[in-house]
Amino acid sequence: MDLTIYDIIKGQRITEKAYRLNKELKKLVLDIHPHANKPWVAEALKKLFNVEAEKIAIVVSKGKNKRIGRHKFRSNNGKKAIVTLRQGYSVDMMDLQNTEIQEDIGSQVDRE
């Protein structure tokens, strides 16, 4: 499968728990491609953020059956990576909102 680093890491998961993990334990919670694995995530992190991962845990969540009124549907499946950064490396979750990722993605779109 031919995935770029921008395909592997879809974005960060912004929740209260993810924010707490980032501040207290130096962990990042990222949404990733359904076919991505640990080595691909580690390589993408190194190229995108210039950080090294000590440990990567990948969690797959199944979609759930939902209802709105009488309409039934199923939410999408998801895959996330919880990345523990090596000592000496850090990425502030809130700084990621306005940094290089968006610039890199913008420049990639311009080239196509």
pLDDT per residue over 46-80, tens digit each? 998 899 999 999 999 999 999 999 999 999 999 99
Contact call for residues 18 and 80 (beta carbons, < 8 A): no
Q: List strand residue ranges (DSSP E) for the chain, in order.
A: 9-12, 27-32, 53-61, 65-68, 71-74, 78-85
The domains located in the chain, with CATH, are 5-66+74-111 (3.30.70.330)
Q: How far apart are CA 71 and CA 95, in angstroms?
A: 39
What value does the CA radius of gyration of the chain take, rounded to a whole number of Å? 16
State the average pLDDT over residues 18-32.
Answer: 91
- Does the pLDDT of residue 112 top 50, yes or no? no
pLDDT at residue 58 in the model: 97
Enter the tokens of residue 40: 């691909």
